[in-house]
Structure 1
Amino acid sequence: MEITEHQPDPSHIMKIGMGFFTSKVLLTAVNEGLFTHLVHKPQSINDIKKRMNWNCTDRHAMDFLDTLHSLGFLNREGVGLDSIYSNSLESNVFLDEDKNSYIGGMLKMANNRLFRFWADLDLAIKTGEAQNESKHGDDIFEAIYSDHGRLKEFINAMTGVQMGNFVGFANSFDFTEYKTLCDIGGSGATLSIQVALHQPHMSCTSLDLPPVEPIANENIQKFKVTDRVKAISGDFFVDDFPKADVIVMGNILHDWGMDKKQVLIKKAYDALPENGAFVVIENIIDNERNSNIFGMTMSLNMLIETQNGFDYTLSDFDHWTSKAGFSSVELLPLAGPSSAAIAYK
Structure 2
Amino acid sequence: MTNASPDRLVDIAYAYRESKALLTAVELGVFTVLAGGGLSLEALSGRLGLHGRGARDFLDALVALGVLDRDEGGQYRNTPEAARFLDRGRDTYIGAEMEFINAHLYGHWNGLTTALRTGQPVNPMATAEGGYKRRYTRPAEVMRFARAMTAATRPVARALASAFAWSDHRTMADVGSGQGCLPVELARQHPHLRCVGFDLAPMQAVFDRYVADHGLADRVRFSPGDFFEDPLPGADVIVIGRVLHNWDTPGKVAILRKAYDALPEGGTVIVYERLIDDERRREARALLSSLNMLVMTPGGFDFSAADCIGWMGQVGFRGARVSPLTADQTMVVGFR
Q: Distance in 1 between matches of 2:22 and 2:155?
A: 20
Say which SS state the counterpart of residue 119 (structure 1) adopts: helix
Question: Post-superposition shift, 1:140?
Answer: 2.3
* Kept in 1: contact 2:127–2:298 (CA 8 A): no
Question: Post-superposition shift, 1:138?
Answer: 11
Question: Post-superposition shift, 1:56?
Answer: 3.6
Change (3 A) 1:86 1:170: same
Q: Distance in 1 between matches of 2:3 and 2:255?
A: 51
Q: Distance in 1 between matches of 2:303 and 2:262?
A: 23
Q: Distance in 1 between matches of 2:320 and 2:237?
A: 14
* Kept in 1: contact 2:172–2:236 (CA 8 A): yes
Matched, 1:338 2:329: yes
Deviations 1:235-265 (A, max 9, x none): 1111111110100111111111011111111
Q: Which residue of 2 aligns with 1:50?
A: 46
Say which SS state the counterpart of residue 232 (structure 1) adopts: strand
Q: Which residue of 2 aligns with 1:301?
A: 292
Q: Which residue of 1 aligns with 2:268?
A: 277
Within 5 Å, which residues of 2 pair with 1:201-240?
Answer: 201-240=192-231
Question: Post-superposition shift, 1:199?
Answer: 1.2
Deviations 1:67-120 (A, max 9, x none): 111111111113xxx621110111111111111111111100111111101111
* Kept in 1: contact 2:130–2:297 (CA 8 A): no
Q: Which moved more, 1:66-75 or 1:20-29?
A: 66-75
Change (3 A) 1:138 1:240: closer
Q: Distance in 1 between matches of 2:87 and 2:220?
A: 27
Q: Distance in 2 between matches of 1:247 and 1:136?
A: 26
Matched, 1:71 2:65: yes
Amino acid at match of 2:251: K
The total of aligned residue pairs comes to: 336
Q: Distance in 2 between matches of 1:190 and 1:137?
A: 26
* Kept in 2: contact 1:74–1:87 (CA 8 A): yes
Q: Which residue of 1 aligns with 2:239?
A: 248
Q: TM-score if structure 2 supplies the norm length?
A: 0.96
Amino acid at match of 2:56: M
* Kept in 2: contact 1:318–1:328 (CA 8 A): no
Q: Which residue of 2 aligns with 1:20?
A: 16
Q: Which residue of 1 aligns with 2:150?
A: 159
**Which of 92, 97, 113 lines up with 2:83 in the alignment?**
92
**Which of 22, 27, 34 lines up with 1:31 in the alignment?**
27
Q: Distance in 2 between matches of 1:137 and 1:288?
A: 30
* Kept in 1: contact 2:126–2:296 (CA 8 A): no
Deviations 1:255-287 (A, max 9, x none): 110111111111101111122111112101111
Amino acid at match of 1:68: L
Deviations 1:269-306 (A, max 9, x none): 11111221111121011111122111111111111111
Task: List 4+ stretches of structure 1 deviating above 4 A.
Answer: 135-139
Q: Distance in 2 between matches of 1:238 and 1:67?
A: 49
RMSD between aligned alpha carbons?
1.6
Q: Distance in 2 between matches of 1:280 and 1:139?
A: 19
Within 5 Å, which residues of 2 pair with 1:122-141?
Answer: 122-134=113-125, 140-141=131-132
Deviations 1:215-249 (A, max 9, x none): 01111011111111111211111111111010011
Q: Distance in 2 between matches of 1:127 and 1:313?
A: 24
* Kept in 2: contact 1:133–1:143 (CA 8 A): no
* Kept in 2: contact 1:133–1:139 (CA 8 A): no
Say which SS state the counterpart of residue 238 (structure 2) adopts: strand
* Kept in 2: contact 1:295–1:311 (CA 8 A): yes
**Which of 109, 125, 135 lines up with 1:144 in the alignment?**
135
**Percentage of identical aligned residues:** 32
- What residue ranges of structure 1 are gaps of 5+ in the alignment? none
